[in-house]
Structures are given as structure tokens and as C-alpha cells.
Amino acid sequence: MAGRVRVLVIDDSALMRRMLSDLLSSDPMIEVVGTAPDPLVAREKIKALSPDVLTLDVEMPKMDGIAFLEKLMTLRPMPVVMVSSLTENGAEVTLRALELGAVDVFCKPTDINETGLAAHAAELIGKVKAAANARVRPLGDRPAAPVRQLGVATLYKSTNTLVAIGASTGGVEALRDIILALPPESPPIVVTQHIPPRFSTSFANRLNSMSAVRVKEAQDGEPIVAGHVFIAPGDRQFEVRRSGAALVTRVYEGPLVGGHCPAVDVLFHSVAQACGPKAVGVILTGMGHDGSGGLLAMREAGAATIGQDEASCVVYGMPKAAYEAGAVERELPLSRIASEILKLCDVDAARARK
């Protein structure tokens, strides 16, 4: 986006409005054009000020943030960064906001004061700048995927192919679209999504309630089996390793890698080593370049690799970096990725039938 990013801050707390405004205004490329204490005032200020990005508190008076966001994404879609507390209820509501089209979420620190908030300045500023360049789609009705129960045979079925997926900004909605399109007999899938702690648990549980596959937050030492999706905890590194002939999860407290924990590169590098050509790597929408090195390692090890195309990305950052590094074998729109995963994982079976 050319010029300064124009931001409207919406929060019912006068203190939070002031602190968020001061923090954002500390960056010369951001201009806070106004603030609003509730969605009704915000609606008028959006019309008058035409901001590029909104920051929106989840819990609001007069009209809650979710109801306001749903109306906004239907009538006037625009980039929104949700501001949420790190609570179980806050996580559930914010995940709903991301499904409705919010670009990203900024979690309020537990110590709500200027010093505590200032420590997160770079994070908030980065999210707002990324949102300014995001592709926001109007809210439309998406058909729900049929929910089917897994049989016992599927639960313990082993497979020769593992799917590894990495995502960041916009990834919650993208992963939802992919996972809800999968049948119960799908290959095992491991996922690293940049998401705050607690949010990853709620995210996995929410997907599990809607999908035909079993979705869960990964724990250390679990066998990786077909019909399951394992999602990295929001504050742990996540890897795949061999235990004899089987694949198992490794979840551990580790340092930031490329500024991230969990890091997509950590997962992808482990899959390249553990699975070689018996894997499919997928890199989805996201800001930055996490995953490009790991996806390249997967491709060099013989794995098939997919990158989400620019037109369907909320932020074409991570897939672009991977493409430019030579890590992406094929670029596809989001709507085709689930079917391509299933096609690639069925190659051995298709050959056997010939």
C-alpha cells in the first residue's frame, strides 16, 4: 500500500484506545485517523474517515465485536485486526472472527499497562501493516462439509505418505477450508499455524467438531496415523520423527526459529528428514518467509510441494518466498489444494491398481 496506513482503533476502554493509538503512531508509516468506543460510533467514523485498517476489540458494548464484524464483512469488507484477551472465551470468539474474515489477532498482554503493551509494539505494528496489504474477501455463504464418523479401521490405519502444512496470516480460514474438505480416510496431516497459545487448543477443537477427520492439538510422542490432523501448540516447536517404522510427534519447548515458535521451518525440515519422498508439503497464506527453507528441503528430498497462489492468499508472503526459493513444485488456488493433496497421496495406490 502506498503512503501511510490509516488506522481506526475501536475499543470500549479509553485507556486501551489511547495506548494502542500511541503505540501505532510510534511508527512513521502508520497514522491513527480516529478512535471509537463502540461499533455504532465506529460505523460513522468508517464512513467519514475511510481507514485502511481497523483494530477491533472482541468484547464491545451495544454491539459485540463479532456481530459488528459480520455486518462489516458483508456490507463493506476491509482489513481488521482483532484485539483479544488470552482467555478460553476470548480464543473461541476470536477464532470465529478469523473465520468471518478478520486478517489477524493481537493478544492483549496480561499486564495491561504502557510498559507491558510497548513490549509488543513490533508485533502489533507488523500485523497492522500486513493487514493493510491483505486481500479481504466479502463474507459469503460457504457450504459446510459433511461430518462423517471415523470407523475403527480408519483410526488405526497406517499410511506411506505424510502431509505437512504451514500457514500464518489468513491461515485459520485457509486451513478450515482444506480440512473440512477431507474425507475420513485421509492421509495423516501435521500442521504448524502461527497462532497464540490457548488459541491452538480452541482451533483444533473447533475444527474437530466440524470435520470428518479427527483434529487435535499435538502432544509429544503420539503415533501419527491416517484420518488425523495434528496441530502444533501455539508456544511449542513441533516436529515429526521416526520410531522404528512408525512416525510419531515431537513437541517441545524450544527457541524461536526465524522469530517463530512454533516455526513452519522446524516442522518441514523434520518431515524432509523423516519421510523423504513419502511426503507432501503445503505452504499457505502468511506474512514473512517462514517455511521456505524447510519446504525446499522437502522438495530436495523428493517430496511433492504445493504453494497457495497469490490470488487466493490473504497475504502472499510465505508462499511467495517459498516459490522464489524454488521450493514450490506447483502453485494452486486454495479451492484446489485439498483435492490435490488427496490425489498426490493416492499415487502409490493408483500405481498398484494398474
Residue 265: active-site member: no
Q: At what angle do helices 334-345 and 171-180 cross, to 10 degrees?
A: 50
18: Cβ contacts below 8 Å, ≥ 6 apart: none
Interior angle at CA 62, CA 60 and CA 63, nearest 5: 65
Distance, in Å, from the CA atom of 70 to the CA atom of 97, rounded to the nearest integer, reads 8
Q: Which of 21, 84, 85, 168 is catalytic?
A: 168
Distance, in Å, from the CA atom of 202 to the CA atom of 91, rounded to the nearest integer, reads 7
Q: At what angle do helices 199-210 and 88-100 cross, to 10 degrees?
A: 60
CA distances from 132 to 38, 64, 171, 176 (A): 22, 23, 17, 23
Sign of CA dihedral 207, 209, 212, 214: positive
Strand order in the sheet with 80-84: 30-36, 5-10, 53-57, 80-84, 104-107
Q: Which of 270, 290, 292, 309 is catalytic?
A: 290
**Are 236 and 262 within 8 A, CB to CB?**
yes
Residue 11: active-site member: no
CA distances from 47 to 28, 42, 76, 261 (A): 24, 9, 10, 39
- Could you tell me how far CA 310 lies from the centroid of its own chain? 16
Neighbouring C-alpha atoms within 13 Å toward the C-beta of 325: 23
Residue 339: active-site member: no
Q: At what angle do helices 39-49 and 65-75 cross, to 10 degrees?
A: 30
Q: Which of 52, 57, 194, 309 is catalytic?
A: 194
Distance, in Å, from the CA atom of 41 to the CA atom of 36, rounded to the nearest integer, reads 6
Of residues 3, 22, 6, the one with CA closest to residue 14: 22
**Residues forming the active site:** 168, 194, 290
